A and B are shown apart, each in its own frame.
Chain A
Amino acid sequence: MSELLDKTDLNRLVDAWLSEGRRVAGPQCVNAKDSRGQADRIQYAWLTKAEELRLDGFIRPTNSIKEFVFPRHEKLYGYQFKGKRLELTPAELPTTEQVVIGARPCDAAALKILDAVFNWDVKDEFYNRRRELTTVVTLACKEHDDFCFCTSVGSGPCDERGSDVLLIPIDGERYEVRCLTEKGKKLLAGATTASSEEATAPQGPPVRFNLDALGEFLAGGYDRPEWPEITRRCLGCGACAYTCPTCHCFDIVDEGSASGGARVRNWDACQFTMFTAHASGHNPRSDQSQRQRQRIHHKFQIYPDKFGELLCTGCGNCSRNCPVDMGVLPVLKTIAAKK
């Protein structure tokens, strides 16, 4: 037995959620002229009406849904000086429920992975509050491109990790609906029709590299001579980190004047020079190859050793958005082939 939902019902549902005061985000054409002359640029963004939602005609959006649980800019608390006296006002945490519709499995799986770092020994209530408020309705992928490598990192087009509801397309119009969590069931209560038809599990991309060979290389210590050569073309921007569903580094800065303002948290990336620069001028990672090494080690050795899951879901955004087509995929393929 399976539950089905067709596109028009889905759009009606989205409009219903919006009218009930929920915030809804999903892939939409942000209509930017794509500079490589390809199709429109699709990004996850807040929707004002279901019509804006795009569920097909693209591989995956160029950004990720981490924006909705770990925003690029977030106020932590305010400070106000009244003469010599100082007051701290905690930031009001969001209260409105939010739904991410049409997330890719590699985005949803990333949320489950991030739960670990934001909750080991000290809980980050900013992240947890948004996570509780969010219901993720994932759309399984029918196609992939050369950048996708979810199957090489233990994920796949139907990965259920991190999803509250999984929609698997049967044909252009209908989806098989799998409610995976209570939140998912509550959200889609009564909207689906029972049926015996099952969606065929879509075929993921071929495995691109051997994970064990990669593990061996990384276990061989940090100062391996291959790094400078593999990563020489990296220009040190943050495009890979900021469009990656699992990258979660951040910076804390003060905004405002000496009399009052707010301390805020912004995204940060280990590829920037200033990320590890000491005030004394010493920089433990002064060379770009060290930073690329850190990014690969952190995702494929440090995070798994500490939290038990790879800090990568194989979405391919880092290579897709890299100005010099790097990101992790070419590096991993080179390393895995280097045995």
Chain B
Amino acid sequence: MLDELRQTCRRLLQDGTVQAVIGYGRPSPEDPVVPVFITKPEDVDQLAWDDQCFANLVKYLLRKEVLSLGKLAVCVKGCDQRALLVLEKESQIDRSQIVVIGLACDGVGKPRLAKCASCDVHTPRQSDFVIGKANTPDAAATVAERYAELDAFLAKPPEERMAYWKKELSRCVKCYACRQVCPMCYCRQCIVDKNRPVSISTSATLKGNFAWHITRAFHLAGRCVGCDECTRACPAGIDLRLLNLSLAKAAEENFDYRSGMDPEKEPIIGAYSQQDHEEFIR
């Protein structure tokens, strides 16, 4: 699979279809896998692929330091690829200008990350190339299975849930790694960087952290594709996945919508329907 990936990228670079390939690689053998930007055909041997390729490389399609390289090819796993679809619908990228190299993936992380258990996109869709074949079949997870982790958490009484978040969010230092790794967070100036008015306190106090994480989670409602990079990037080890699952579950249960899955479906935030239920409204 790795040779097929390297050959594809070598050809793309040689015939000038792209000026740079964003992929996973090891600049030197003993280093961990990191995002690499291959611009010369002979460097494609740096490319690597194994179950330590965590990063969602779609994020780099929004950064000027990478866009300056010219036309780009990006390697994506199934979960990463869903982010491409959302960005396209939110007109942040021009899909025709990007070459998408899908990598068949059997899950990442040793042991496997939580997101991989109910993954049904082992083989990336809407990609220009698909490299390799996924051995694990796509899980036909029901809504209950997909959100089992969240439901287990929601079974706890509200006081216990708030106590959990008070303990977890007290460790947040507001390094904004969760924002910087997220392909959906592309605002030129994030709401926390605005100070006229200061709507979210920039201090890493419990009040500031609750306000920030509520805002971050809700700004991803119906947009987060569940790549879980925010949870992996958090140096304080806060399980942001639970917050993202809450919004994803609400989107699926109420609007039968899973972000980045169906190119025909309208994104739910920004659109509306007269048939939305309102039993909770007096």
Contacts and interface: CB of A to CB of B under 8 A. Distances in A.
Q: Do chains A and B touch in the complex (CB under 8 A)?
A: yes
Interface of A: 30, 32-37, 41, 43, 45, 62-63, 72-73, 146, 228, 232-233, 235-239, 241-243, 251, 253, 255, 264, 266-267, 269, 272-274, 287-289, 321, 323-326, 330, 334
B107 to A, nearest CB: 11
A200 B157 CA distance: 52
A32 B111 CA distance: 16
A287 B235 CA distance: 24
Contacts of A30: 171, 236-237
A323 B232 CA distance: 7
30 contacts: A32-B237, A33-B237, A34-B237, A35-B232, A36-B109, A37-B109, A37-B112, A37-B113, A41-B236, A41-B237, A62-B236, A63-B235, A72-B174, A73-B204, A73-B205, A232-B37, A232-B65, A237-B177, A237-B179, A238-B176, A238-B177, A243-B175, A253-B202, A255-B203, A321-B177, A323-B180, A324-B55, A325-B34, A330-B27, A330-B31
Given A33-B237, A36-B232, A37-B111, A235 B59 contact: yes
Contacts of A73: 203-205, 208
A43 B55 contact: no
B237 A264 contact: no
Interface in B163-203: 168, 171, 173-177, 179-181, 193, 195, 198, 201-203
Grouping DSSP codes into helix (H, G, I), strand (E, B) and loop, the B interface class, with mixed when no group exceeds half, is loop
A35 B231 contact: yes
Interface residues of B, number: 53
Nearest to A33: B239
A35 B35 CA distance: 19
Grouping DSSP codes into helix (H, G, I), strand (E, B) and loop, the A interface class, with mixed when no group exceeds half, is loop
A32 B239 contact: yes
B108 to A, nearest CB: 10
Contacts of B241: 35
A256 to B, nearest CB: 10
Contact of B34 (A41, A43, A330): A330
B227 to A, nearest CB: 12
Nearest to A273: B193
A73 B19 CA distance: 45
A36 B109 CA distance: 6
Interface in B35-76: 35-37, 54-55, 59-60, 63-66
Contacts of A330: 27, 31, 34
Given A36-B232, A324-B55, A287 B65 contact: yes
A235 B27 contact: no
A273 B55 CA distance: 22
Contacts of B195: 253
Contacts of B106: none
